[in-house]
Amino acid sequence: MDRGERRFHRPSDRTQRATRAADSLHLHHHQYLSRVLVVRQRSQPSAARDPAGQDPPSGGVVSRPVRGTILIMAYHHVALATRDLAATHRFYTEAMGFTLVKAVVGPTDGPGGWAKHVFYDTGGDGLIAFWDLHDERFTAFDTRISEGLGLPAWVNHIAFDAPDAAALEAQREHWLDMGIDVVEIDHGFCRSIYTNDPNGILVEWCTDTRALNDEDRAAALRAVESDAPELEAMPEPQFHRGRTPAVTGAD
C-alpha cells in the first residue's frame, strides 16, 4: 500500500501487539522500574527468511526485514510521563484521533507506589504510551521534554506522519476548530504543523513534499562531518489562532 492509500490517523488492528508490549513490562515485579536493561548482541546470527519470503525451519528465529546487512526497524512505541492523564487522554483521542488500546496497572518499586501505563494506537505502525505515576518519590517532575531540560520547546519533539498535504490541512483545521493554536512551517522537503500537548510536549504532524535523493544524503553527510557547516535560510513560520469551539449545549 503506498502512502496515498493509507488512512490518516485511523486506528489499526494492533491490540494484540499492544497487549504483548504492555504485559512484557511485568509491572508486578517491584524491581522493574529501577532496573537497567542492557541489550547484548546475540552470539548466533538470526535465521533470515529465504528470498521467497518463507519463514525459517521450525526452531529458527524469524528475522526482521533487512536491507543488505542493515536491520530495518521501526519504533514499536514511545513512552512518556504525564501528570494529567485525563487531559492527555482527551488530547490524544480527540485532537490527534488516536485509539486507547491497552493499559497496564501495577505496583512500582516504592512503598505503596503504583502506576498506569497506557498505550494509544497512532493509526500508523506504532504506539505512543504514557506513564501515570502514583509514587510519593515522584511528585515534582517536569513532563516537558525540552523546556524541562532548559532547552527551547522546538528541540525535543514528537512528529507523526501525515500521508499527504490534504491530510495535513485537514488536521490543521481540526485543531483550529477545537480551539488549539497551530504553528505551520514549510521546510522545503516537508510541511509541518505544531502544537503543544497537555504535558508541554511539542507535537507535530508532518508530510513529505518531495523524495529525498543522493544529493540530500551527500549534503547531510557533509553537515555531520563539518565543524563549520554552511547555514541555511530558515523558513518563516505561520501562526494560526485556534477558533473558539462551538457551544453544543449546557453542561
Domains and CATH numbers, the chain: 3-37+62-134 (3.10.180), 147-226+236-240 (3.30.720.110)
Q: What is the pLDDT of residues 201-251, one digit of tens each?
A: 999 999 999 999 999 999 999 999 999 999 999 999 999 999 987 555 544
Q: For residue 172, what pLDDT is reported?
A: 98
| Least reliable range by pLDDT among 75-79, 190-194, 199-203, 205-209 | 75-79
Say what percent of the chain tops pLDDT 90: 63
> What's the distance, CA 3 to chain centroid?
18
The pLDDT score that the predictor gives to residue 68 is 66
Could you tell me if 162 and 135 are in contact, meaning their C-beta atoms sit under 8 angstroms apart? no
pLDDT in the model for residue 64: 54
Q: How far apart are CA 8 and CA 70, in angstroms?
A: 29
pLDDT for 49 equals: 38
pLDDT, position 105: 97
Q: What is the pLDDT of residues 33-66, one digit of tens each?
A: 343 333 333 333 433 334 344 444 444 444 456 6
| DSSP-derived 3-state class of residue 119 | strand
Q: CA 80, 85, 86, 87: dihedral to nearest 10 degrees?
A: -40
Q: Per-residue confidence at 28, pLDDT binned at 50, 70, 90? A: very low
Give me the residue label for grid cell 537497567: 36
Contact 240, 172 (CB under 8 A): yes
Q: What's the mean pLDDT in 101-116?
A: 96
Instruction: Look at residue 67 in the predicted model and tell me its pLDDT.
Output: 62
Residue 25: all three cell numbers together: 513490562
- Report d(CA 28, CA 20) in Å as an integer: 15
Sign, Cα dihedral of 143, 146, 149, 152? negative
